[in-house]
Structure 1
Amino acid sequence: MASCVRTLLKGGYLLTSRTPRVCHLPARSYAAPARAQKKKEVKKEVEKEVKKEKRVIDDSGRHKPYGLTAWAPVDDVYVARFYPRPVLAPAVALLRLKLYQELDATAPDQPVYIDLKLDMKLEKKKTVDAFVSTVQFPHSFSTGLNTVAVFTENPEQAQVAREQGAQFVGGPELVEQILEDEVSADFYISVPEMLPKIVPLKNKLRKKFPKSKRGSVGVNIPKMMAMFKTGFEYQVEKDCYVRTQIATLDMPTEHILANVKSILTDVCSHRPAEYGPFIERSILASHTSEALRFSSQEILQPPPADKS
C-alpha cells in the first residue's frame, strides 16, 4: 500500500503524518480470458465439425429436386444450373465426347481422362489409406514401354529379367548407382531375398519402392515384367480423388470401355465389397471437351444370367 508523507514544523518538533491513499492493484485478468478463449476455440471446432457433416436431403417422393426447377428439362435448350446434372450411360458419354471432337474440329487423338471420387470411409471412423496402384489396360494407348529395374543377385534370375526387357538388373551395386543418381527407372521390382539390402533406397524411391502388396516383390520375374513393362500407374490424390488418363479419343469405343472397366475394377479392389459402393462420382472427359458424368455401376455390375 503506497502512502503520502506530509512534514510539519511545530514547536521545534518534526512531525510527520501519513495520509493513506487508495491504490488500485493490477487485476488478474489473465485467468478468466484464457478460459474464455479455450471455450471459443472448442466452439469453433464444433462448428467446423457440424459444417463438415453436410445435411442429407431426401428428394424421394418430391415432384422436383430440392432447390432446382425440375427433375429433367422439357426442351433441348435450358439453363443447366436449374436441373440435376445428368448421369449418362458409359457408352453414351463416350459417343458424346467423340461428337464434341468432330464439332469442335479438335485433335482426334487427344487423351481421354477419368475422374473418380471415392468413399474412403470404413467402420469406427477408420478410412482407406491413400494408395498407389498399377493397372494393366487391355488396350494400350502408350507407344513406348516403361523402364524397369530388377534387384536380384541370382545369375539365372538376372538373365531372365534381361530377356524379359529389364533395362537395369543388379544387386548392391545397382543400389549404389541409384543413390548416386546414375540409374533411374519408371518401376522397380525385387526378389524377396534382396529386400534387406535395398532398405537404403526407401527415402530415395518413396512410393516406387518395391512392395509385395503392389506386386513388385516376388520370384515370378516374367509375370512382374509383363505387368510393369506396359502397366499404367495411378494414385489417390487429396485423400479421395483419382484422376488419370485411360485412353485416346481415336480408339474404338469398345476398347475405351474395356479400359474404363479395368481401372474401375482395380480401384474397387482396394476396399472390401461389404462396405458398399466405393465410387461416389465418376466423370469422363477428353482434353478439350466438357466433363460428363457416367454411371460406374453400369460397368461394374455383372451381366444378367441367361435363364434359357
Structure 2
Amino acid sequence: MASCVRTLLKGGYLLTSRTPRVCHLPARSYAPARAQKKKEVKKEVEKEVKKEKRVIDDSARHKPYGLTAWAPVDDVYVARFYPRPVLAPAVALLRLKLYQELDATAPDQPVYIDLKLDMKLEKKKTVDAFVSTVQLPHSFSTGLNTVAVFTENPEQAQVAREQGAQFVGGPELVEQILEDEVSADFYISVPEMLPKIVPLKNKLRKKFPKSKRGSVGVNIPKMMAMFKTGFEYQVEKDCYVRTQIATLDMPTEHILANVKSILTDVCSHRPAEYGPFIERSILASHTSEALRFSSQEILQPPPADKS
C-alpha cells in the first residue's frame, strides 16, 4: 500500500509522517467455516469379569484348608481353628436346653431357625424370594390370627363370619383398609373380588391375596382353617429364612415336628432335581449360641436297620 510522505520544516528539525491510504474493501457476506474437531476414538472398556467363588472339595485331605484339623483332640481348643460341627437335630436341641439350665435364663425363650438356601436354577434363572404360610403341628402362640375376607356374596360372608373372620366385606372394606381403619394378619378373597381390590396392592404388598399362596378361592372354610392358625415366614436378603419355630420349654419331639414342617415347606418351592435346596441350617435360642444341624436327617432320615 502506497503512502505519501510530507516533509515539514519546523524549528530546524525535519519531520516526516506517513499517512496510510484508505482502501474500501467489500464486506464479507459469509461465515467462516467452523474448524472440525478431531473425532475422539472411544476406547472400548473391557468389562470386568467377576470370578465365581470356587468351591474347594477338601473332604479327601488330612485337614481342611486354612484350619488346623478336622476335629480337636482336646477339650480346650480355639474354635476358629476347626470347622464348626454339624449336629443331629435332637442333639442340637438338647444342647440348647442344657445351655438354658446352665445360664439360668428364661425357660420359655423362643427357638429360632436360620436357613441359607441355594436359589439357583438352570442357566441364570433363580428362585424368586417367596412368602409362605404353613400349619405347624404344635403352635407356640396363644392367640389366633386376624383374617379379613373380601366377598360380596351374602352367603359367603355368613360362612366367613361363622369360621371366625374378623372383617368381611366388599368395596366398603377396601375403603376402610385404605383409610387405615382396618388391619389384619391375613387377607383372603374370592376370585370375583380380585379386580375390585387392585387399589390395595401397594397397601398390602406381600399380604395381597394371591392364588399361588392359597389366599384366593371359593372354599372359604378351608382358607380360614389355614390362615386362622397358620404360621407365616418369608425369604429375606435373597436367600435366608430366619424365623421362630417354638419355645424352649416345649417337648423336644414337638420342636422337631415344627422344624420338619418348616423344612418340608421350604423345600417344596424348588424342584428336587436341582439338588439340596438348603445349604446351611442353624438352631438357636434367644440367649444361646447358634448350633448347626443336619437338615437332611429330618428330610431324609436314614433307613432303620432290619436286623
**Structure 1 runs of 4+ off > 4 angstroms?**
1-30, 32-52, 305-308
Q: CA deviation at 1:55?
A: 2.2
Select the structure that is richer in helix: 1
Residues 144-193 of structure 1 show CA distances to partners (whole Å, capped at 9, x for unaligned) of 11100000111111111111110000111111111111111010000111
How many residue pairs align between the two structures? 307
Structure 2: how far apart are the matches of 1:26 and 1:85? 95
Instruction: Give deviations 1:17-41, integer Å, cap 9, x for gaps.
Output: 99999999999999x9999999999
Report SS of the residue matched to 1:101: helix
The 2-side partners of 1:273 and 1:24 are apart by 96
Where structure 1 has 5 or more consecutive residues not aligned to the other structure, the ranges are none
1:303 Cα deviation after fit:
5.8
Tell me the distance in 1 between the aligned counterparts of 2:105 and 2:26.
76
In the alignment, the residues of structure 1 paired with residue 2 and residue 293 of structure 2 have an alpha-carbon distance, to the nearest angstrom, of 82
| Aligned-pair CA distance for 1:67 | 1.1
Other structure's SS at 2:133 match: strand
- TM-score, normalised to structure 1, is 0.83
Q: What displacement does 1:304 show?
A: 2.6
Q: SS where residue 99 of structure 1 aligns? A: helix
Q: Distance in 2 between matches of 1:143 and 1:295?
A: 30
Give the drift of 1:298.
Answer: 0.6
CA contact (8 A) 1:190 1:210 kept: yes
- Aligned partners of 2:4 and 2:208: how far apart in 1? 81
| Structure-2 change in CA distance of 1:97 and 1:305 (3 Å) | closer
Report which of the two structures shows the higher radius of gyration computed on alpha carbons: 2
Of 42-51 and 237-246, more deviation after overlay is shown by 42-51
Partner SS, residue 6 of structure 1: strand
Give the CA RMSD over aligned residues.
8.1
Once residues 122 and 28 of structure 2 are traced to their aligned partners in structure 1, the CA distance between those partners, rounded to angstroms, is 48
User: Does structure 2 conserve the Cα–Cα contact (< 8 Å) formed by 1:149 and 1:166?
Assistant: yes
Are the counterparts in 2 of residues 132 and 233 from structure 1 also a CA contact under 8 Å?
yes
Q: CA deviation at 1:44?
A: 16
**Superposed displacement of residue 200, structure 1:** 1.0
Q: Kindly tell me: are residues 274 and 14 of structure 1, through their superposed partners in 2, closer, same or farther at Cα, counting changes over 3 Å?
A: farther
Distance in 1 separating the partners of 2:249 and 2:3: 97
Matches of 2:91 and 2:28, distance apart in 1: 72
Q: Deviations over 1:101-123 (max 9, x none)?
A: 00000000000000000000011
Contact 1:247 1:259 in 2 (8 A): yes
TM-score scaled by structure 2? 0.83
Equivalent positions of 1:206-225 (< 5 A) are: 206-225=205-224
**In structure 2, what is the Cα distance between the partners aligned to 1:266 and 1:58?**
30
State the Cα distance separating 1:12 from its structure 2 match. Answer: 18
CA distance in 1, matches of 2:41, 2:229: 52
**Structure 1 residue 56: deviation in Å?**
1.7
Q: Deviations over 1:189-242 (max 9, x none)?
A: 001111111111111111100000001001111111111111111111110000
Identity of aligned residues (%): 99
Match of 2:235 in 1: 236
Q: Does the 8 A contact of 1:189 with 1:216 survive in 2?
A: yes
Q: Specify whether residues 229 and 50 from structure 1 end up closer, same or farther in structure 2 by C-alpha distance, changes over 3 A only.
A: same
* Counterpart Cα distance in 2 of 1:276 and 1:233: 25
Maintained 8 Å contact 1:89/1:294: yes
Give the Cα separation in 2 of the matches to 1:295 and 1:24: 102
| Corresponding residue number in structure 2 for 1:118 | 117
Cα-to-partner distance string for 1:70-104 (whole Å, 9 max, x where unaligned): 11111122110111110000000000000000000
Cα separation, partners in 2 of 1:5 and 1:215, compared to 1, 3 Å: farther
Cα 1:69–1:157 change in 2 (3 A) is same
